[in-house]
A = this chain, B = another copy of it.
Amino acid sequence: MSRIAGDKTNKAGQNVGQGIRSGSTHSTRGTGAVTLDDVAKLAGVSPITVSRALNYPNKVAAKTLEKINQAIARTGYVPNLLAGGLASKRSRLIAAIVPSIANSVYAETIKYFSEELRGSGYQVLLGESGFSEEQEEALISAVLSRRPDGIFLTGVNHSIACRRLLLAAKIPVVETWDISPSPLDVAIGFSHEQIGSSVARFLWSKGYRRIGIISATDHRAQVRQRAFIETLRGLGLSEVAVSPVPMPTSFKLGRDGLARLLDNGFAQGAVFCSSDTLAQGALAEAQSRGLSIPDQLAIIGFGDQPYAAHTFPSLTSVHFDRATIGRKAAIAILARINGEHVAENVIDVGYEIIERQSC
C-alpha cells in the first residue's frame, strides 16, 4: 500500500487541518489549507488583525488576541511564510554555506549558529559547497533565490561572480573561518598565515630542526603551509619535507602521508598535519612502525576536535573555538538586520596551541 500523509485513511481518524474551514471554496487554485482569512472569519475579525496577533501580539487587544488564538488552535492554522516573506521582504531565513556538512568542525559551528538564530525566529538554510568555487557559485545563486535575510559563508575567497551576486543581494554577509583585510561585509575567524607561522616557531622553539608537513590541498591549508615553510626558512631551516594530500582529509590519508615522508628518509623530527584527522592517521602510522611519540616523532594537528582530544590524549593541536565563531556570526547578522551600529567588521577569534604529550 502506498499513501500520502493526510490521506483520508489516517488511522487516528481525527479531524485534521482543514476540517474546520469557515469560508467556502472560491477558487480553483488553493491547496485547501487553512489560511489567515479562514482564521479571521472564525474569529470574527479582519485578516490584518490576525496577522498582527501573530507578529505583534502586543498591538492587539487582549480579548481579540484570545479569540484569534482559539481560532488558530481550532483550525490548526500554520502560517505560510512564502506569502509572508514575499509581502514583507523578510524571509526569516538565513543561508549558510559550508564546504562539508559531514565534517564535524563545520557541523558544530552551524549548530551554534542555528541555535543563536532560532531564538530570534530565524531558520537556517544549509548548503554544501564541497570546497569548489564553481559549486559555491551555483549554490549561492540557488540559495539567494530563497531571499535569505543574511548569509554565512566559509572562507574569504570567493569568485568574482559570487561577490557580485552577494553584493547585489544587499543582505548582511558573514565570512567565517578566516579573516581578510577587505571582507565583503563582516569576517569572523582567525589568520591562517599567523597559525602557520606560530606552529613553525613553536616547533622551532622546542628544538626541532627536522620538520615536515602533511597538508591538504584546500585553500586555507595551503595558506598555513606557505606561512609555515616561510617562517621556518626565516629561522634558518631551508628544507621542509612536504607531503600533500587531496581533499577531503581522512585517517588513511594521514597514515599514507606520514608513510611517504618516512619512506623518503624523514626521521627524528616533527610533523605538522593540516587536520586532526590526518594527525590521527599519522600517529597510527608512527605507532605501527614502533616509533615513540614524541621522542622519535612529534606530531601536531589542527582543529583540536573534542573526540580527537579524548581518543588521542597525546595529540598536540591548534585549537579554535567553533562555538564562538558560530555564535558571533549569528549575532553579527542579527545586528546588521536590525540596523544596529557594528563597531568592527573583522573579528579575530584567535587560536591556541594546546600542548599535549605528542610535542
Interface of A with B (CB < 8 Å)? Answer: 1-6, 10-12, 14, 16-18, 29, 31, 33, 76, 78-83, 85-86, 89, 91, 93, 100-102, 104, 107-108, 110-111, 114, 123-128, 141-147, 160, 163-173, 182, 184-185, 250-252, 277, 280-281, 284, 306-307, 310-312, 336, 341-343, 345
Contacts and interface: CB of A to CB of B under 8 A. Distances in A.
Given A107-B101, A125-B125, A281-B310, A80 B147 contact: yes
A79 B147 CA distance: 9
9 contacts: A2-B341, A4-B185, A12-B164, A80-B86, A102-B104, A111-B128, A125-B125, A252-B310, A280-B310
- Considering the complex of A and B, which 5 residue pairs feature the smallest CB-CB distances, nearest first? A17-B168, A6-B170, A251-B310, A2-B342, A5-B185
Contacts of A277: 307
Q: How many chain copies does the complex carry?
A: 2
Given A12-B167, A14-B164, A101-B114, 11 more contacts: A1-B345, A2-B343, A3-B185, A5-B172, A17-B168, A33-B168, A82-B146, A101-B107, A280-B307, A280-B311, A311-B311
Contact of A123 (B127, B147, B312): B127
